Amino acid sequence: MALVPSDPIDNGHSLPLIAEVDMSSDPSAAAVVRGTVVQASTVFYDTPATLDKAERLLAEAASYGSQLVVFPEAFVGGYPRGSNFGVTIGNRTAKGKEEFRKYHASAVDVPGPEVDRLAAMAGKYKVYLVMGVIERDGYTLYCTVLFFDPQGRYLGKHRKVMPTALERVIWGFGDGSTIPVFDTPIGKIGAAICWENRMPLLRTAMYAKGVEIYCAPTADDRETWQASMTHIALEGGCFVLSANQFCRRKDYPPPPEYVFAGTDDDLNPDSVVCAGGSVIISPSGNVLAGPNYDGEALISADLDLGEIARAKFDFDVVGHYSRPEVLSLIVRDHPNNPVTFASTSGKPEGPL
């Protein structure tokens, strides 16, 4: 494993070494794709600065030959770790409502100018880009992953179908219409966000779509997350690329503007509040790079796509190992719209 030093970034932290796996090639081997997971923090409440940071990291990953770059959950817009938005059952505080207003203002419209910039970045550095964002759709927010190709085109999105615990207060629920797997020259790429990865039926839907490079942006830095990622790689016979933020208390606004409910008194500016653990795992369950718990980093590995067939020979979960006459799954992949207008204009007809 070669270690290549990286350049510092502008938020006061130095970016540690990037780990690259140099796999020997052979003329008869399948294609090899270099993938990178980004482990870095949002610039909270500052979406333009976060996009600037994303571009610096993307440029660095591309300079080491990365063809696919995966960012963490909610990288653009922020994961509001430690906040309760002033919510108790039957009550919401004025401060919590203002906190939501600021969070809403940091989110991005899809499509929108921030999405255009991300697409341009993917085209500029000629990479497939998988980016975690907070998506604003009117006044509802979604935890979303956006996909872009090296020609600078926006491919589509996945909305988190099941926010976890208090996330349900601030994020809406995705539906079956945004569970894409994109067939690209470097493999079939899809994503599931954080604890969605623990939903076996969602995973099965992605396997049925043929996912080969399974992206898992997350906010879970516990060691138990590694077991889930290894299991998915083995179960799906796919590469798993999991990206998490590495955050210290000082990466969030100071109190009283932003408070880690119930714990802020125990934190100092350098306290780690999310330790990362980003990792890349092969279809045979081997850890190719990571997990990293040391700080902000780019974590890269060469993905030998021939490993997919070798793994599937043992176990193809929706192929020779399926039993459709005993077990089957129906996925409702149409949008669930709360209001549908019958008129061609999309507006109600007749007097109001």
Which among 164, 149, 157 is positioned nearest to 178, based on CA atoms? Answer: 157
In the residue annotation, 212 being an active-site residue is answered as no
Question: Which of these is catalytic: 73, 99, 235, 296?
Answer: 73
Query: What does the radius of gyration of the chain's CA atoms come to, in whole angstroms?
Result: 21
Q: Taking the C-alpha atoms of 52, 46, 255 and 292 in order, what is their torsion angle to the nearest 10 degrees?
A: -40
Element (H, E) at 205: helix 200-208
Residue 77 Rama label (left phi>0; alpha psi -120 to 50; beta): left
Q: Is 336 helix (H, G, I), strand (E, B) or coil?
A: coil
The three-state secondary structure class of 196 is helix
- What H or E segment, with its residue span, contains residue 306? helix 306-314
As a whole number of angstroms, the longest Cα–Cα distance in the chain is 72
Strand partners, 148: 129, 154
Helix (H, G, I), strand (E, B) or coil at 167: helix
Report d(CA 164, CA 25) in Å as an integer.
Answer: 42
Residue 241 tokens, joined: 């690329």
H or E stretch at 60? helix 47-63
Residue 202 CA to its chain's centroid (Å) = 16
The catalytic residue positions are: 73
